[in-house]
Chain A
Amino acid sequence: MSFLEVNDLKVHFPIRGGFFGGTQGYVKAVDGVSFSIEKGKTYGLVGESGSGKTTTGRAIIGLNKITSGKVLFDGQEINDLHRASKDIRRDIQMIFQDPYSSLNPKKRVSDIIAEPLRNYEKLTKGEEQKRVQELIELVGLSPESSVKYPHEFSGGQRQRIGIARAIALKPKLIIADEPVSALDVSVQAQVLNFMQDIQKELGLTYLFISHDLGVIKHMCDEIGIMYKGRYVESGTKEDIFNNPQHIYTKRLVAAIPDINPRNRSQHLQFRQEVKKEYEQSFNKYFDSEGLAYQLQPVSNTHLVALPEKG
């Protein structure tokens, strides 16, 4: 059985309006998403802005209300995290996108990192301090960082404070929502390497949400591609990058800039061919509302949203 299993997850937001402020309809931010993650692996959730990838991550950790569907964590249903046992809540942690807005500017680093410890563990002042120092060391910050405030750090350092907070309770699953999107490439490399290191050290499982396919390919074992709240394709890294089946995935892969300038004109031609194919076969791959069909297996690991035959 998988470590995290998401079954037919739906998150619909009501649209209020009209004279009495009644519900006029729903925004189907996540509309029937299913996937599973094995323990110790990294699962990548990819999509463009508005595809519902962040909402999916937030729904799993309980920051968005689940409309229907099931989330199983280690075999236990956790649809309602507030009612779920306290253990589960400490086992799932989140790293947020923007290290500038996800740290309380009025708190010292030591208090930021100690907050989850204070919520879940009864430690003495001394023990707490020791744990915080260990964490600060683990994420590669200098010991005197604990008395500083977030504004005294650079973006990469702040993101590492966010990571220290996320791993303070030794969680099993970390949901990382665009953890490096706000960072420069050299800092990005630092954070990604670090995430890989602690994954090995602590046996973490990641749900890695990103729009950057280069980063996704570097980090993930399995990948799901979302479009307008639905899955269009899922599979292993090889399935997605070497053998994309859905036209939307092809287009995403073709849109990644090629780092070798010699391939430039070739790549442009390829991109234009894919664009043409995308325009011509849009109706074949999407239903009348422009949404993806149900996923159909094309191999043991590879699922593609194709119309049912017949």
Chain B
Amino acid sequence: MSEPILEINHLTTSFRIKDEHYAAVDDVSLTVNKNELLAIVGESGCGKSALAFSIMRLHNRAKIEGEIKFKGQNITEFSTSQLNALRGKDMGMIFQDPLTALNPLMMIGDQIGEILLIHNKTLSANKRKGRVIELLNKVGIPRAEHVYNQFPHELSGGMRQRVVIAMAIANNPELLIADEPTTALDVTIQSQILDLMKELKEESHAGVILITHDLGVVAEMADRVAVMYAGQIVEIADVYTLFENPLHPYTRSLLNSVPTANEEQSKLHVIQGVVPSLQNLPREGCRFSARIPWISESAHEKNPVLHEVSPGHFVRCTCYKDFHFPDGKKEDKHHVIS
């Protein structure tokens, strides 16, 4: 039933700082199926963007270990030209900031047309223009003929992001990676862009990886969710399980620190301490333990691994069994295990 488009096995992406390699993505394994939206959530520095860039192989200095299988082929062994044949064709990417993702000196029509041209040299100029206009209409840009001859600076943020999406889906990719696609946008524009992405996904049955720090966006969009902390996946589950029965202390803390417009909490939960920097990451033991010091040492595993607690629901480390909030704080009602 579910066909994996992307299979990642034990992926480690490390960067060299001085003479040492530090893993920004540490032993991550996950799959993305056809017509599935996998959300990757985490705070800045947790490695979620590094993971996305690793899949597209956009880091040129990073050391990549492990397997990235795209439709069964291990693309970590691909040459640059083989990768270029994939990028923008079978794999599309939507970037965070649409202004820096677009070339300011190229007209919108030419930018989108370029992607079509690179992957299909025989496409005539006329057909190409027709296809670009079709794409602009598809992503909901009014007066497509006019926008075709405009430059990025003439468009609003929301329209620019639509152009970036049009570029990403130009060649009907089977895998779409969206790295914080709405973070730079206003809320009303955000909801439009998210609705558009949903529609496009339904239509094309592509697999989508959505990277975000916004749990509201996750709740609206995702089929499955992977929560990342300090380079590792700490919890992975389908979206309903994750919001209704979150287990890992980090997931639960995160859910409790969001001020939501629906519910009134007098005090938000604060996670103690700070996210450790790449060089100061504890390489052994539970990486979250330093931020929940009231949980006894013995609750953690020596080498935390992902445990399957129910089908498809994985949690790292055993500390979730003993976890409670420090001051006996109640969790929001829909987050509590029912």
Interface residues of A (CB under 8 A from B): 48-49, 154, 156-157, 184-190, 192-193, 196, 211-215, 217-219, 241, 251-262, 264, 267-268, 271-272
**A262-B338 Cα distance, complex, nearest whole Å:** 15
| A-B contacts, 28 listed (Cβ < 8 Å) | A48-B187, A48-B188, A185-B43, A185-B257, A186-B271, A187-B43, A188-B259, A189-B268, A192-B268, A193-B268, A193-B270, A211-B187, A215-B259, A217-B259, A217-B264, A255-B188, A255-B190, A256-B261, A257-B191, A257-B216, A259-B215, A259-B216, A260-B262, A261-B240, A262-B240, A267-B220, A268-B195, A268-B220
What separation, in Å, do the CA atoms of A246 and B271 have in the docked complex? 38
Task: Report B-chain residues with C-beta under 8 Å of the C-beta of A188.
Answer: 257, 259
How far, in Å, is A186 (CB) from chain B's closest CB?
Answer: 4
CB-based nearest B residue for A184:
B43
Residue of B nearest to A263 (CB): B219
Q: How far is the CA of A286 from the CA of B254 in the complex (A)?
A: 40
- Please pick, from B194, B219, B271, the residue contacting A261 in the complex, using a CB distance under 8 A: B219
| Proximity string of chain B (260-278) to chain A, C-beta cutoff 8 Å, 1 when within and 0 when not | 1110110111110011000
Most buried by A among B222, B254, B270, B271: B270
* Known interface pairs A217-B259, A259-B262, A261-B243; A189-B216 also in contact (CB < 8 Å): no
Q: Which residues of A contact B222 (CB under 8 A)?
A: 261
Chain B stretch 226-278: residues in CB contact (< 8 A) with chain A: 239-240, 243, 253-254, 257-262, 264-265, 267-271, 274-275
Measured between C-beta atoms, what is the minimum distance from A263 to chain B in Å?
8
Most buried by B among A193, A215, A255, A259: A259
A190 to B267, CA, bound (A): 10
Enumerate chain B residues within 8 angstroms of A218, measured Cβ to Cβ: 259, 264-265, 268
Interface contact A213-B268, CB-CB below 8 Å: no
Do A257 and B217 contact each other (CB < 8 Å), given the known contacts A189-B268, A215-B259, A251-B188? yes
A218, A241, A253, A268 interface centre (most CB from chain B within 10 Å): A218
Q: How far is the CA of A188 from the CA of B265 in the complex (A)?
A: 15
Pairs A-B, 10 closest by C-beta atoms: A257-B216, A218-B259, A189-B268, A189-B257, A48-B186, A184-B43, A255-B191, A186-B271, A255-B187, A261-B219
Give the chain A neighbours of B191 by CB distance below 8 A.
254-255, 257, 271
Nearest to A157 among chain B residues (CB) is B274
A256-B263 Cα distance, complex, nearest whole Å: 13
CB distance from B229 to the nearest CB of A (A): 11
Inter-chain contact A189/B269, CB cutoff 8 Å? yes
B214 within 8 A of A: yes
* Docked-complex contact B186 and A190, CB < 8 angstroms: no
The one of B219, B253, B254, B275 in contact with A257, judged by C-beta atoms closer than 8 angstroms, is: B219
A215 to B268, CA, bound (A): 11
Using CB atoms, name the residue of chain B closest to A268: B195
Chain A residues within an 8 Å CB radius of B10: none
**Which residues of B lie under 8 Å from residue A49 when comparing CB positions?**
157, 186
CB distance from B152 to the nearest CB of A (A): 17
Interface presence of B334 (CB below 8 A): yes
B205 within 8 A of A: no
Given contact pairs A257-B214, A257-B220, A261-B219, A185 touches B260 in the complex (Cβ within 8 A): no
Chain A facing B: main interface SS: helix
The 8 Å CB contact of B258, one of A213, A214, A258, A271, is A214
Asked if residues A213 and B270 are in contact (CB atoms below 8 Å), the reply is: no
Q: Which of A189, A217, A258, A264 has the most CB of B within 10 A?
A: A189
B220 touches A252 (CB 8 A): no
- Look across to chain B and name the residue whose beta carbon is closest to the beta carbon of A251: B188
Taken together as a complex, chains A and B put the C-alpha atoms of A256 and B194 apart, in Å, by: 12
Chain B minimum-CB-distance residue to A186: B271
**C-alpha gap A4/B336 in the complex (Å):** 42
Min CB distance A232 to B, Å, is: 13
Instruction: Give the docked Cα–Cα distance between A157 and B262 (Å).
Output: 29
B149: Cβ under 8 A from any A Cβ: no
List, in ascending order, chain B residues with CB within 8 A of A48's CB.
Answer: 186-189
Q: Which residue in chain A gives the minimum CB-CB distance to B46?
A: A184
User: Within 8 Å of chain A (Cβ to Cβ): is B74?
Assistant: no
Q: Is the CB of A258 within 8 A of B274?
A: no
Q: Tell whether B120 is near chain A: CB-to-CB under 8 Å.
A: no
Complex: A259 Cα to B262 Cα, angstroms: 8
Given contacts A218-B268, A261-B240, 19 further A-B contacts (CB under 8 A): A48-B187, A48-B189, A185-B258, A186-B254, A187-B43, A188-B257, A211-B186, A213-B187, A214-B260, A214-B261, A217-B261, A255-B187, A259-B219, A259-B243, A259-B258, A261-B219, A261-B239, A268-B195, A271-B195
- What's the Cα separation between A251 and B270 when bound, in Å? 31
A154 touches B274 (CB 8 A): yes
Instruction: Check if B213 is an interface residue, CB within 8 A of chain A.
Output: yes
A254 to B262, CA, bound (A): 11
Interchain CB contact under 8 A, B270 and A189: yes
- From B43, B216, B271, contact of A214 by CB (8 A): B216
> What's the least CB distance linking A141 to chain B, in Å?
12
Q: CA–CA, A271 to B187, complex, Å? A: 12
**B303 contacts partner chain A, Cβ-Cβ < 8 Å:** no
Does B44 make an interface contact (CB < 8 A)? Answer: yes
Q: Which residues of B contact A255 (CB under 8 A)?
A: 187-188, 190-191
Within the assembled complex, what's the spacing in Å between the Cα atoms of A252 and B216? 15
In the complex, A251 Cα to B189 Cα: how many Å? Answer: 11
Chain B's nearest CB lies how many Å from the CB of A250? 11
